Amino acid sequence: MSGAVALQTEQAFAGARSAPKVAPSANYAKMRKTAEDFEAFFLGQMLQPMFQSTEAAEPFGGGNAERMWRSMQVEELGKAFAKAGGVGLANSVLKEMLRLQEGK
């Protein structure tokens, strides 16, 4: 994605997600991805207890494979929630990362 397209895309979503307004750069894109990955991980961890209390119906559910699949499902749900806008944690983390990078 070119710099101009990235800037237009970020500005289009800036109002809806209240993302910080900075010029796009490779470093900014990496920081944005890191912040979104952190939010996805956080959401997955918050969803984990909800799915631990549910059991699959017999005869197809249960066992080690069920537990392994369930953890992957929760991880992907966290990623999907974060990609759809999340709960705003990524924006807060990104703002803090930018502030720390500037040395303020």
Domain boundaries, the chain: 3-102
Nearest CA-CA partner of 74 in 94, 57, 49 = 49
pLDDT at position 104 is 65
84 vs 16, residue with greater confidence: 84
pLDDT at position 5 is 41
Split at pLDDT 50, 70, 90, the class of 57 is low
pTM above 0.75, yes or no: no
Token output for 15: 């109002």
pLDDT at position 27 is 86
Residue 56 clears pLDDT 90, i.e. is over it:
no
Q: Residue-wise over 23-45: b if at least 16 C-beta within 10 A, else e? A: ebeeebeebbeebbebbbebbbe
Residue 35 clears pLDDT 90, i.e. is over it:
yes
